[in-house]
Structure 1
C-alpha cells in the first residue's frame, strides 16, 4: 500500500471515530463507566481545552468535530484529491504555524500536509494546545507510521523545508521577513460579509444567525458585516435571529457585549441592539465581539465593484444570487474540502515542494 493510501485510510478511521464520538456525546449516559476509553479520554481533552480557552465551549468543539467527521469520509476525500497527482512525491518537512481563534482551526493544513506525504512540524497557538495533540495520538495509534510524520514544536522552528503560517496582519509581516527564504503560504486577517437585499426569507435570516454567532464570531468565516440597501428595516433580521439570544449567557461574550455597548454609548455612536447583538454603521470589515457592522449600498453593481476591490480582505460572501462564488446562508462554518483559506490551494502548494 502506498504512503498516500495508508494515510488516507488512517484519516478515514479518524472520521469514523469523530462520528462515533459525536453520537456518544449527544446521547451520553449519566453513568458512563462502561464507555469506550477513547471517548472518555476525548471528554477529558475537550474539558481541558475549555478550561484553557473560555471561548472553546463543548458545543462549539463538538460542532467542529462533527463537521470534520462528515468531511473525513473516503468518498469525499477521494473526490477532493482526484484532481491532484499524489503518489511518488518526495517527502519534505513542512512547518505549520496555527492560529487558535476557533477549535481545530488549523486542521485543514494538518490534513493537507499529511495527505500529500509530508512530515509536519506543528507550532500550536497558546489558545488551542489540547485538541490536535489528542487527535494526533489517535492517528498514530491506528497508523504507527505517522509517529515519524507528526511533530509538535514548542521552541524555535528548525529543520523545515516550507512554511504555512496563519496569523494577524501584524504577525504576517514578521512571518514574511522570517520565512522569506523558504517556500511559504502566509495568511493574514480576513473577514466575511453578508449581502442582504430585503427579499430574504425568515429562514434565510435565521440561518444567517449561524454565520454570525457560531464560534462567537471569532472565525475568518464568521460574518462580521452586513451590506444592506438604503432604508433597510432591521426588524425582520432581529426577529429571525432571536433564537440565538442565549449566547449572552456565555460570560465572556456578555462581558464583551457590555464593554462595547458602554464604549459606543459614551462615544455617542448610534447603534441598534436587541440585548445580545449590536448593529453599528461602519466602513470596516472586522467588528468586535457582540457587534455586527453594517453599511448601506445604492446599487448591487457598485457593491460588487467594492467587494471585488477588497477581495483580499474577504473570506466569504454570504448572499442569494449576488455572487457566483457566494456561500448560502448558514453554511460559512461548513466549508468543503476544496474551500481553501485565502483562496490559496494548499494541496497544490505542498505537491510542488
Structure 2
C-alpha cells in the first residue's frame, strides 16, 4: 500500500533542503545548519555540473534549485493534487527519458511519477546526470520506502508499463517508433513567443528580458520569437532589455553570438544588433542562441488564427490581453506545478492508464 502522504512530505522536506541550500551556497549568514554535510556534498555537485554541460553555470543551477524549493511546499503540493484521486492509482513502473537543456528540466516528470505512487526507471541526459542521483539519495534518506522506486539506468529500458520521454523532433520519431505499443507521452521541440503591440510599459519589456535570457534561452519556455505590428520600432525594446547585457561575458554565449553574427553577415541577412542580442525577421519559431526571431502581423485576429494553427509547436505565449491562455511578461520560467509541459496532464495520464 502506497503512503501518498509520506511521499508528499518527503518532497516538502526536499523543498526545504533546496531553499536552505541556496542560502548556504550564497554564503548567507542566516543559512540553516540542518543537513550541513549534505549541503556541502550538493555544493560540490552543483559546482561540477558545468563539467558536463557548459551552460550549467552555478547561477543557472541555483536558479533552478531555488525555483523548485519555492514550489515544493505542502500548500502548493496539496493545491496541485487535491482534485485527483490518487488512491485509485494502481502502482506501475514508468520509464523516464529526461532532457538536459536546462538544469533539472525533467524534475516535474520525476516528481509526478513518484508522488502519484509509481516507480520511476530513469534514463538521464549526459548533460544533466549528477544532480538527480543526489536528489534521489536525499529523498530516500528522508523517506526510505522510496528507495526501491527510484532506479537509474544507462542501458536499454525494459520492464516498464508506460514511458514519458522528452527530446528533439528527431529523437521523438525514434521514441514514437520504439514506445508506440504502450501508454506514452512523447515530447518534441516546442518554442515560446511574445506578442507585442507597441503599448508595452518599460516594466513589461524589462520582464520580457527574463523570458528571453534566463537559462541563456535554452528552454522550451524561453521566448525565441516576437510578433510585432507592422512598422514596430525596436528602440524601446532594446533599451528595456539592456540590463541583460552582462550575458555577453559568458564565453559560450559570446561564442554563439559571434558565430551566428558572422553567418548572418556573410549571408547578407538583414539583422538588428545591440551587441548581445540580434533580431532577425524569420517565419520560424526556434531561433539560435543570441538571436531572437521576429515576424510582423497585420491584425490580432490574423495572428490568433496563425498561433491556433501552430499550437503544437508552441509552449508559452507571452502577451497582455491577447488570449485566455497567455502568460504575463516575465513569468515563463516560473510555471506552477499544475502548468503541464505541452499542456498534457501527466497526473491524469498516470492514474488512468
Q: TM-score of the superposition, structure 1-length normalised?
A: 0.97
Please name the residue that 2:39 is paired with: 39
Asked whether the equivalents of residues 271 and 280 of structure 2 are also in contact (C-alpha less than 8 Å), the reply is yes
CA distance in 1, matches of 2:280, 2:239: 17
Please name the residue that 2:312 is paired with: 312
Q: CA shift at 1:25, angstroms?
A: 1.9
Write out per-residue CA displacement over residues 231-262 of structure 1, whole angstroms, 9 at most, x where no aligned residue: 11100010000110000111000000000000
CA distance in 2, matches of 1:224, 1:206: 16
Please name the residue that 1:302 is paired with: 302
Please name the residue that 1:182 is paired with: 182
CA distance in 2, matches of 1:16, 1:88: 29
Q: CA shift at 1:27, angstroms?
A: 2.9
CA distance in 2, matches of 1:122, 1:265: 43
CA distance in 1, matches of 2:250, 2:34: 32
CA distance in 1, matches of 2:197, 2:112: 37
Please name the residue that 1:144 is paired with: 144
Matches within 5 A, 1:30-179: 36-179=36-179
Asked whether the equivalents of residues 2 and 117 of structure 2 are also in contact (C-alpha less than 8 Å), the reply is no
Q: CA shift at 1:352, angstroms?
A: 1.0
Q: CA shift at 1:57, angstroms?
A: 0.7
Matches within 5 A, 1:260-339: 260-339=260-339
Q: CA shift at 1:26, angstroms?
A: 2.4
Q: Within the alignment, does 1:26 sit opposite 2:26 as a pair?
A: yes
Write out per-residue CA displacement over residues 158-185 of structure 1, whole angstroms, 9 at most, x where no aligned residue: 1111000001111111101100111000
Give the match's secondary structure for 1:323.
coil
CA distance in 2, matches of 1:2, 1:265: 60
Write out per-residue CA displacement over residues 259-310 of structure 1, whole angstroms, 9 at most, x where no aligned residue: 0000000000000010000000000000000000000011111000000110
Q: Within the alignment, does 1:245 sit opposite 2:245 as a pair?
A: yes
Q: CA shift at 1:131, angstroms?
A: 1.0
CA distance in 1, matches of 2:35, 2:189: 41
